[in-house]
Structure 1
């Protein structure tokens, strides 16, 4: 059973390494429901990592048993292999260990580096910012460029530049603040972290860069949607779109690494989406996408454990 399981996991890993991310990054429906699309991207990343490590592990342990639990227990208890152990088995086990350490290590390193960078920027900013009249939880930074960003973490910081306050009216400024609050409230930096690590661990894989870019775009669209739900005024969509355009003019200066900014990604696509909103995803399609994400996460687990049943 294990050779067939390893082959099935390898096929799944290959699909999730290129065709599926390429398709998901190309289709248009994610813009209709960014939150559902973010769930699907997380499922692709997690299932892909589990599939490739699982395929290597299952192939490497095949001489010790007919299922992964049986073979793993045999190795842990020091039992001899029932079948000859070839070089490809040792190679697969080595690759599985190396890939697991690399993926988890890069994830931990990315988290530590990003947290350290954000902490350093927060400490520096706290020396120069002052309370902003625009919002009680915002801080004002004397900077001529129109910039707005938030630094997530245990002590989040929402920063507006004096240039931004000067160029926007009250409604537009409220839209910017609502966008940044959405990033902080939904912890969008955590959605991005696995894909930052994936791109760093596998830089030769085009799908890794594609996935990172797609998720960055989707978290900005999701923040736009959540901001719209809190805004008043006659045309909150156009108000937010105008604020994004203004912020895009100053996005090149003043936004620190590790921050989430209102003009951080896909400005043109977001403005078009706000001005001419696409129809919402139908409930049936939404449920189908979430079901597919759940099944995708379940598939490698079932393949790994099914031979033991």
Structure 2
């Protein structure tokens, strides 16, 4: 167990770069699901490994061993290593739990504060207009979700681009994209390497909403102009305070997103053999990393269970 339990803690070193690379070659929706699923799987394996380290060390404490009717000489592993490792694992698990609770509470408080702040302003359907002169627009999730836009943003865009902007924000609400970001943020508190998945995930979610908006309005150029003009209008002025957890069309690498919308759609053609092969290799490597991490955690748990049975005679 002492060797297998460390594998889930080290596997993100390989899995995270592979997930980022694979997400670049996938459609936005698939990339968002891939990055989120990978973060959840790796965070779960990391938490399980820390829990196994904590349990293995705790069983060597005489009060715990007596409670479980365990014979200390029959327990495997070196106590000089397992007991300190258990102490470190306990500290890390406590820190992770506190950080996750703080992150979830902050997310809830920010959304509740934003909904209270926008609740006093007139709304037409899911559209809430703020009287602020600073251009801004964002998707505010909740029940019901709202597209919040300022009067300054409405003045900055012509009618067709306004519809594209609203379609973008409605795509965030319909896809519940804020939950993707929250899930990865909670997973990242379990392993610091998972934090690097947030930026590509945010980009994938914005591209997902861009494509949904372009499909809704039926014009990719209008959508691209709306995103670019909204970002330029929102940048010079200090927009009204918005929650850090919401998604907006004006955030992220806007020039890259606009270029993707304006790029001509490729004609149907068989994919390049080298590109397809590279994608398959990366996907295989990522699947192997996640599978190996989960298998190592299960193997360590089985070893711990066997050790307990032996120590109980």
Please say whether Structure 1 and Structure 2 have the same fold, judged by a TM-score greater than 0.5.
yes
Matched, 1:264 2:255: no
Q: Which runs of 5+ in 2 are unaligned?
A: 60-64, 304-313
Contact 2:8–2:294 under 8 Å retained in 1: no
Matched, 1:245 2:228: yes
Q: CA deviation at 1:212?
A: 1.7
Residue 30 of structure 1 corresponds to which residue in structure 2? 24
Looking at structure 1, the residues matched to 299 and 26 of structure 2 have their Cα atoms a distance apart, in angstroms, of 36
The C-alpha deviation readout for 1:111-170, integer Å capped at 9, x for no partner, is 11111111112111222x2235xxx32111122233211111234221122222222222
**Taking structure 2 as the reference length, what is the TM-score of the superposition?**
0.76
Task: Decide which of 275, 290, 294 is 1:301's aligned counterpart.
Answer: 294
Looking at structure 1, the residues matched to 46 and 67 of structure 2 have their Cα atoms a distance apart, in angstroms, of 22
Task: Decide which of 66, 91, 96 is 1:98's aligned counterpart.
Answer: 91
Looking at structure 2, the residues matched to 75 and 57 of structure 1 have their Cα atoms a distance apart, in angstroms, of 20
Residue 306 of structure 2 corresponds to which residue in structure 1? none
Secondary structure at the aligned position of 2:11 is classed as: helix
Q: 1:75 to 1:239 in 2, by over 3 A?
A: farther
Larger radius of gyration: 2
- Name which structure has the greater RCO, CA cutoff 8 Å, separation 6+: 2
Residue 79 of structure 1 corresponds to which residue in structure 2? 70
Task: Decide which of 6, 9, 14 is 1:13's aligned counterpart.
Answer: 9
Looking at structure 2, the residues matched to 75 and 121 of structure 1 have their Cα atoms a distance apart, in angstroms, of 53
Q: CA deviation at 1:219?
A: 1.1
**Taking structure 1 as the reference length, what is the TM-score of the superposition?**
0.76
CA RMSD of aligned residues (A): 3.6
Q: How many residues are matched?
A: 285
Pairs within 5 Å for 1:1-309? 2-6=1-5, 10-16=6-12, 18-25=13-20, 27=21, 30=24, 32-59=26-53, 77-81=68-72, 82-83=74-75, 86-127=79-120, 129-132=121-124, 136-197=125-186, 205=192, 207-232=193-218, 236-249=219-232, 250-251=234-235, 252-257=238-243, 258-276=245-263, 297-306=290-299, 308=302
Q: 1:293 to 1:21 in 2, by over 3 A?
A: closer
Q: CA deviation at 1:39?
A: 2.3
Contact 2:157–2:230 under 8 Å retained in 1: no
